[in-house]
Amino acid sequence: MALNRKIAYIDLTTGDIEIKPIPLEVRKKFLGGRGLDAYLLYNHTKKGCNPLGPANTLLISAGILTATCASATARTHIMAKSPLTGLLGSTNMGGFFAPELAWAGFHHLVIKGKAEHPVYISINNGEIEIRDARGIWGKSVTDTQWAIREDLGDEEVKSCVIGPAGENLVRFANVMTGIKNSGGRTGMGCVMGSKNLKAVSARGTLDIQIAHPVEALDYNKRFIDQIVSAKVNQTQGVLGTPFIWGATNCWGGVRTRNFQYNQCEYADDIEPERIDEIAEESMGKHHMTGCFGCQVHCRAQYKIPSGPLAGKYDEGPEYTSLGAFGAETDTPRAETVLTGNYLVNQFGMDNLETGSLISWAMELYELGIITEKETDGLDLSWGNDKAVLEMVERICYRKGWLADALADGGIPASKKIGKKSFDYLVQVKGMSNLHSDERPTPALALNVATASRGSDHLRSRPAIDLYHLPEKVLRKIYGSPVPYDGPLSSEHTEYVGKPWQVFWQENCFMGVDILGICKYHTTFLGPTLPNFEDWSKVLYYNTGLEMTPEEIWEVAWRCNMMERLFNLREGLTRNDLEKGDMLNHRYFDEPCKRGAIDVIGMTIDKKKFVKMVDELYKHQGLDREGVPKKETLKNLGLENEPSHLL
């Protein structure tokens, strides 16, 4: 059954491999996936370790429900100390790897050390082997996966891999699986590269016994009906996640030219309908595809329509690529966006970090802070499509002074560049913001500032705050599974009540990450989608583990606190601009210039923002400096960490 999936400890330096069961007491405290990874990272990584050194522990996992009868349980989680931020490194991707890992007998891999030469780890029905990867070092993401299948003689093998960016220690390199499933953010591909680990492959045919199969199937049918009936998922099934970009840009919530504007003009060529048109022209009417066990099918299959890479196949683009290679750099053309998306997928690079850093460099070029001397003759003027795509490749291979600097991330690059360049870097905790602009939305700004892995939209974002839902509906959502009788507001420009929404969303998102479920299948963009009440039942029917919705909430809170403990140990300080819960000054000082009437002129009120952080800390059980109170740790059973139970 799901509870008998094992944990493997793999030492790349010595070649030693140890396999253990996961004790039930540990399961009940952390369940699995990202939550148990947070426990393992805190217990297996020493304070102050070099993120690129052999002592940094790399964790790869599946959620506790992965590969069961539960819907959309395809998520793979990867965690380590981040080489980009020096704090928590954590990333999550869909596809088919995690189910294969579970069928092969494992839920968690703990990888330590560094191999003498490039290797990959092969997992097959309970057996683990470290294999030579010198012949595939240097290959692209797609070519690597096919090479591993050929090496193992099995086309059903699934792999998570790094591309050239990870090999070159680009500090925001991705871990990838399939064509475009990206473990982006925080540089976990860089950690793999530092260990000479090219890939981890999995092949499994082991049964997973379902505790109550009839009930599990019946309840999952209800689960699926709930998911596919939601309008947000119906829209994604037609247009994919670009529909989010289209709606947000129309309103005025997309940052353009780094942070100068908040709406991308003349963007018809990258509107979701245009992307859908290109995909249909190149791949046919049925061009949408999805991950294991998912009914939504939220991403397109396409071929690049024109340019030097015309005809190349790829998947996506996600709405993040429209921002990274369209809005931020002011290059709103389909060829540029689709080509940029293809390049980062093949190189194994975080599209958000890549696009943000290039747009930052373009603003610095406009201001004269950097010149053609630093760019090695490249014209980084706004709207220069060729320069944007050239910079993607340069960063991957660290070609030239500027690209090499950017490959180390924004904060190290700002220190090399100097001249107040840091002031223009839109980041939190060393991780660049995605292309969104949260000045009109205090709740989303609070989320960005306080997310555990840096500027982030997938850790605690109450996106439904933009729906203007009646307070009665908000109370039904945010008052379960634990009661809340404080203020709530249907107005997205308000500050009151937003800290609780962020705290609730933080625990909700941790909940899906420990179960292994996609965030689009919970309260993220759809207020009617499943959450704690449903998870209690689906967990019991599939695994036999009895937990109330309140107990799952507590597990999620506990796991979030483990991430907080790790960050504090590694130097997190509340107001620090490099390692703190603080926004770039431009959020407070520069008003929005474009968009709807409720957007133009908006800034974040700093005094109210500080009060929001204070209130959020109270909900989380932290003191005013963001440090857990003793009673909080005791109530969550964390007073003796690190406990080394596993």
Same domain, 428 and 475: no
Q: Last residue of a domain, which of 411, 432, 453?
A: 432
Distance (Å) of CA 617 to CA 60, 603, 620: 30, 23, 5
Which amino acid appears at position 449 of this protein? A
Same domain, 428 and 447: no
Q: Are residues 464 and 548 in the same domain?
A: yes
Asked whether residue 221 is domain-assigned, the answer is: no
Name the nearest CA neighbour of 190 among 178, 173, 203.
Answer: 173
Distance CA 61, CA 109 (A): 6
Q: What is the CATH number of the domain that holds 322?
A: 1.10.569.10
The answer on 404 and 553 residing in a single domain is: no
CA distance 590 to 601: 8
Query: Alpha carbon 139 to chain centroid distance?
Result: 24
Same domain flag for 176 and 71: yes
**295 and 168 together in one domain:** no
Burial of 575 (0-12, 13-18, 19+ CB in 10 A): exposed
For 206, 516, 575, the CA distances from 511, given in Å and listed in that order, are 26, 9, 28
| C-alpha separations of 297 from 289, 361, 425 in Å | 5, 35, 35
pTM exceeding the 0.95 threshold for the entire prediction: yes
- Measure Cα distances from 501 to 232, 506, 599, 635 in Å: 20, 8, 21, 22
The list of the chain residues with pLDDT below 70 reads 1
Q: Are residues 123 and 194 in the same domain?
A: yes
CATH number, domain with residue 504: 1.10.599.10
Asked if residues 362 and 257 have their Cβ atoms less than 8 Å apart, the reply is yes
Residue 155 shares a structural domain with residue 6: yes
Domain boundary among 388, 408, 432: 432
> What was the pLDDT predicted at 292?
93
Task: Check residue 600 and report its DSSP letter.
Answer: T
- Determine the length of the chain: 646
Q: Is residue 209 part of a domain?
A: no
Does residue 213 lie in a domain region? Answer: no
Both 426 and 478 in a single domain? no
Our measurement of the distance from residue 518's CA atom to the centroid of its chain's CA atoms, rounded to an integer in Å, reads: 11
Given 398, 432, 466, the domain boundary residue is 432
The whole-number pLDDT of residue 248 equals: 95
Report the pLDDT value the prediction gives residue 2, as an integer from 0 to 100.
83
Tens-place pLDDT, residues 537-572: 999 999 999 999 999 999 999 999 999 999 999 999
Same domain, 454 and 503: yes
What is the rounded CA–CA span in Å between residue 485 and residue 263?
A: 37
- Position 505 in a domain: yes
Angle, CA of 356, 359 and 361, to the nearest 5°: 110
Same domain, 378 and 510: no
Where in the sequence is the domain holding 516, given as residue range(s)? Answer: 442-635
In a domain, 628, yes or no: yes
Two tokens, residue 554: 């507590």
Residue 236 counted as domain residue: no
Domain count, the chain: 3
Q: Tell me the H-state helices in 489-583.
A: 498-515, 532-543, 549-569
Residue 494 within any structural domain of the chain? yes
SS3 assignment, position 454: coil
**Would you state the structure tokens that stand for residue 501, as one six-digit string?**
């929404």
Is residue 587 assigned to a domain?
yes
Query: In terms of domains, do 605 and 463 share one?
Result: yes
Which of 342, 365, 9 shows the shortest CA–CA distance to 180?
A: 342
How far the first Cα of the chain sits from its last, in Å, is 20
Tell me, what's the pLDDT at 236? Answer: 87
Q: Which amino acid type is present at position 563?
A: E
